[in-house]
Structures are given as structure tokens and as C-alpha cells.
Amino acid sequence: MPNLQAVKFLALSAAGTCLPSRKPSRTKQEAKQETKQDQEAQTQRPENKRCVMAEIIRMPRMSDTMTEGVLVEWHKKVGDAVKSGDILAEVETDKATMDLESFQEGTLLHLGVDKGAAVPVDSIIAILGKSGEDISAILAGEKDKGSGEKAPAPEAASAPVSPAPAPAQPAQPAAASAAQTTGSSAQATAATAPAPAAAASADNGRIKASPLAKSLARERGLDIGQIAGSGEQGRIVKRDVESFVPAAAAVSSPAAAKPAVVLPPVIGQEQYTEQAVSQMRKTIARRLAESKFSAPHFYLTMDINMAQAAAARAKINEVSPVKISFNDMVVKAVAVALRQHPGVNSSWLGDRIRTNQHVHIGVAVAVDEGLLVPVIRFADSKGLAHISAETRELAEKARNKKLQPSEWEGNTFTISNLGMFGIEEFTAIINPPDACIMAVGSIRDVPVVENGAVVPGQRMKVTLSCDHRVVDGAVGSKFLNTFRELLEEPVRLLV
């Protein structure tokens, strides 16, 4: 039979009760000795080692791609009473600003993060406990943990630092002397630079001319010996060659050379601004770089006749409770085409390929800090009016940073439409874990040939970016052909 005192000790320990350690039963003399040792240890125990019941609140992972969060606003301050369910703060993740809810009760004893600071996931941000409770041990433990991870290398700490040599002269006279020396040396250089050439020409009987003047005279075919020098000691310089007119040339060609074009001086100032990278932009950069450099992209472009789609949209909007856009028709056509070509509605998972039987369309939405992709779930089962209303609602939430994780996760295919900005054609980077993304351009009024005659037409280009690990060219082409047929005969969208 198990020892009842040991069972009681284990039960109280699991409940979080602080107890002095005890050993299994001994003889009376050993038990008496143990009791005496326990009493001595209890009297000698430091105050900072007493039981701490405070609750540590750490930065939670609020999305599958979140690595850190920004503390946007605190709703509680130190000393406030906190109940379970109270909102402690607002946290900006890589996709939205979300409320941080407390699941404990107590008094807010410590705030570990300032407003506006970025905090890695699992870092301590607050401590709850009883009013007046000592949390110095918790803070010291966290500090020791952080310092242990970032301890400097011994070599760097022990590297000797050699003192700088003392200046030979006082600082101010040295600076003044250096300034004077710089100014005088510049003047001396300008005045004495041609001196060696002049001395050489005097000693060797050569014509005194600068190298630039000699080169210029050679290019113009002039005899430098006929040119009079205006430089120091009669030295020929550039201006002498440029202004020289040969006697024969003056008789045969009296016309003066064309004056050089003088450009006015342009005065400008280089300037720039910098801003910290937001959590959203960091995630966009990381995920798209991973996609571009790990997934072998290839692209399929198709030009689609949108005349029938435009006419059908005008008719539908006469009776629809919400306005139907061309993008709503694109979403519906993609969803129906994916149902017929499930190979495009797939994902690469490393050692296997997942073919999705459901159709969840992600629609890229531009926001101030980057790009969000809210998801229209089961889009193949929804009508145009339903898709239109849901797209507008999700886009508004995205711009206000109010999207919830369930509204941006789970896409199986993504659409990026820049047609409203007048972009005719572009390519998009695949949005993991999808195998494809469709880039939609604007609808253009262009002349087209129909039945041998040139007539006005409306055309739209789309480009399908495919992950070649999952989708082959033939599979992507068949999907695009079905998509084109649905838009060119939009009544098929209603079947």
C-alpha cells in the first residue's frame, strides 16, 4: 500500500501549494532529526524564495505566420483589477490588430512592454497576481534567462584595448596649423604644378606647353610651335589652342568657330525619409521571397473576349440587390473552373500533393501597409450577389485591420486584380500554400476581327502563375480554357 503522507504531498504539490521537502518515513530518531533540520532551513530561508503565485502573461501567437507583435494600446494600467475576459491590450499582428484577452484574475502588477514596441512571441508582457505581491524573483529569472542567451564571447571581453597615442602638440594649435597648411598647400600646388615641365623645356629646348594643350593641338591638326603661349613664362595652355586661328585658315575660312553651349547651373539637395518596417510588411517580404525562390513559377497568359460578360453584367445589375462587378464574375468563373479542374486547386506539402475538394478563393486587397488576402469560402456554391456582398464586407474589414484569422486563412486559390488601376497585364507571385494565382488586367476597348471584319471589341488579359511542382502546362492551359469559356458565355455561370 502506498505511503499516505507521500500521496498527500504529491497531491498538494500538483495543486501548486508550497511545502517543505520530505523524505519517506524513517525511524523516530531520524524523523526527529529531519524535523529539526526543516525548522532550521525554514528560519534561514531568504525572503525572496517564498512561494510566488503570480501569473505571467506572454505574447501569444495569434496567427500561423506571426513571429512578433506590436503593442498598440494598453487598456489596463499597473494596479488595476483584472477579471477573466477583460481586454488587456490591442496587439498588431502581421495581418490585423486584435484584442489581447485575459484568462486569469488578479491585480496587474507589471507591464513589460511599452506602447508601440515590437515583442517576439512568448515574451513576457505583463504579470498578474495579488496586490502587493513581490514579483522580483520572476523578473530576475527572466532577466537572467535573457542575459544567458546573449552572453558575450570571452575573446571579445578579454581583447586588449591599446590607448591612442598622445598628440605631440595642443589640439587647437594643431588644428589651426593643419587648416593653414591645407590652404597654403593647395595654392602652392596650383602655382608650382607646371614648374617641372617648364624647367624641362628650358633645359631641353622643347616647346613649353601643358599636356592637355599638346593633346588638343594634335586632335585639331595644329602645329603647336605656331601657337603663342599666355601661361607662366610663355607656356601654352588649353585656351591658347582653342583661340588659335591659323593664318591660312583665316584667309580661306574667315568664319569663326561656333561658341560652346553653356549650361546653367542646377542646384539641388539630396534628401530621403525612412520608416520602420511594419509587421505586415515583414511577413509579406518573407512569405513572397520564400514562394518566389522555392516554387518554380511558370506563366500562362490568355486574352478573353469580355463583350458578352459586359452585356450580361449590365442585365444582372438591373435586378440584383447589390452591384455586381467584373471581379465578382471573375471569382465565380474561377470557382466553377476549379471544380472541373481539381489539379489546379492543389497545394505542395513537400512529400505529398494535397488536392482540395473544397474551393476557397483568396482575393488580394491593397491596404496602406501592404496586401491582405481575405478568403471567400465555398465560392463555387455561392451566387454572384452573395460573392459581391461578401467581398465588399471582407475588403472593408481588411482596410480597417479588423479581419479575424478565420477570414484570411485556408485559401486554395488566389486572385489579384489590378484592372481598376489601368494595368493591362502583369504576373503575380504565388500565395502559399496555393499552387496557382491569377493576375487579372483591365478590360480594353480594342478593334477585333470577327467573321473577316474589323469591329469594336472588349478584351481582358489574365495570367496564371503556376507552381511547376504541382501543375503542368497542359493542366493549367485546360483550366484557362474553361475559365475563358465561362466568361465568354456567362450564362454558364448560372448553371
Specify whether 363 is located in the same domain as 482: yes
User: Is there a contact between 127 and 55 (Cβ–Cβ < 8 Å)?
Assistant: yes
CA–CA gap between residue 418 and residue 275 (Å, rounded): 26
**114 shares a domain with 12:** no
Whether residues 411 and 453 share a domain: the answer is yes
- Within a domain: 153: no
Residues 85 and 16 in one domain: no
Residue 416 shares a structural domain with residue 462: yes
How many CA atoms lie less than 13 Å away from 48 in the CB half-sphere?
7
**pLDDT of 183 higher than 50:** no
Asked whether residue 283 falls in the same domain as residue 139, the answer is no
Its domain, for residue 27, covers 4-45
- Predicted local confidence at residue 323, as pLDDT: 95
Q: What would the mean pLDDT of 372-401 be, rounded to a whole number?
A: 94
Which of 52-56, 241-245, 346-350 is the least confident region?
Answer: 52-56
C-alpha cell at 251: 584667309
What lies within 8 Å, CB to CB, of 213 at 6+ separation is 224, 227, 236, 237, 238, 240, 241
* Cell output for 126: 505583463
Percent of the chain with pLDDT over 90: 37
C-alpha to C-alpha distance for 418 and 8, rounded to whole angstroms:
69
What would the pLDDT profile of 50-95 be if each residue is shown by its tens digit?
444 678 888 888 877 788 888 888 888 888 888 888 888 888 887 7
**Residues 462 and 483 sit within 8 Å (Cβ to Cβ):** yes
Residue 215 lies in a domain: no
Q: How many CB atoms lie within 10 A of CB 212?
A: 12
User: Last residue of some domain: 130, 146, 162?
Assistant: 146
| Structural domain includes residue 452 | yes
First to last CA, the chain: 74
Question: Per the domain annotation, does 468 fall within a domain?
Answer: yes
Q: Report which of residues 158 and 74 the model is more confident about.
A: 74
Strand order in the sheet with 68-74: 97-101, 87-92, 68-74, 118-120
Of residues 342 and 205, more confidently modeled:
342
Q: Any residues with CB less than 8 A from the CB of 282 and at least 6 apart, and which?
A: 67, 94
Q: Which residues participate in catalysis according to the annotation?
A: 468
DSSP 445-474: EEEEEETTEEEEEEEEEEEEEEETTT--HH
**Are 287 and 351 in the same domain?**
yes
Residues 380 and 345 sit within 8 Å (Cβ to Cβ):
no
Q: What average pLDDT does the structure give for the chain?
A: 78
pLDDT score at 30: 57
**Which one is predicted more confidently, 58 or 341?**
341
Together in a domain, 40 and 104 = no
Statement to judge: residues 41 and 90 lie in one domain: no
The three cell numbers of residue 352 are: 505529398
Question: How far apart are alpha carbons 78 and 131 in whole angstroms?
Answer: 10
Angle between helices 307-317 and 473-488 (to 10 degrees): 50
Give how many domains the chain has, as a whole number: 3
Q: What average pLDDT does range 149-162 have in this prediction?
A: 43
At 36, the pLDDT band (50, 70, 90 cuts) reads low
Pairing of strands 360-363, 413-417: parallel
CATH number of the domain residue 340 falls in:
3.30.559.10
Identify the pLDDT of residue 31.
52
How many of the other CB atoms lie within 10 Å of CB of 347?
17
Q: Is residue 224 part of a domain?
A: no
Q: Are residues 34 and 129 in the same domain?
A: no
Would residue 249 count as lying in a domain? no
Is 50 exceeded by the pLDDT of residue 12? no
Q: Are residues 426 and 328 part of one domain? A: yes
Q: How confident is the model at residue 37 (pLDDT cuts 50, 70, 90)?
A: low
Cell numbers found for residue 115: 506602447
Please report, as a single letter, which amino acid is at residue 484.
R
pLDDT in tens, 296-315: 999 999 999 999 999 999 99
Does the pTM surpass 0.95? The reply is no
Average pLDDT over residues 85-112: 85
Q: What is the CATH number of the domain that holds 59?
A: 2.40.50.100
349 exposed, middle or buried (CB, 10 Å; 0-12, 13-18, 19+)? exposed
Determine the number of helices (DSSP H) and then strands (DSSP E) in the chain.
15, 18
Task: Tell whether 291 and 440 lie within a shared domain.
Answer: yes
User: What's the confidence (pLDDT) of residue 47?
Assistant: 43
Instruction: Establish if 237 belongs to a structural domain.
Output: no
10-14, 382-386, 421-425, 487-491, range with the lowest pLDDT: 10-14
- The set of residues, in sequence order, having a beta carbon less than 8 Å from that of 76 and lying 6+ positions away, is 82, 86, 88, 89, 108
CA pair distance 207, 191, nearest whole angstrom: 20
- Residue 92 falls inside a structural domain: yes
Peptide bond into 433 cis (omega under 30): yes
pLDDT score at 192: 39
Q: Which residue has the higher pLDDT, 28 or 85?
A: 85
Give yes or no for residue 246 having a pLDDT over 80: no
- Mean of the pLDDT values across residues 21-31? 50
Coil, strand or helix at 135: coil
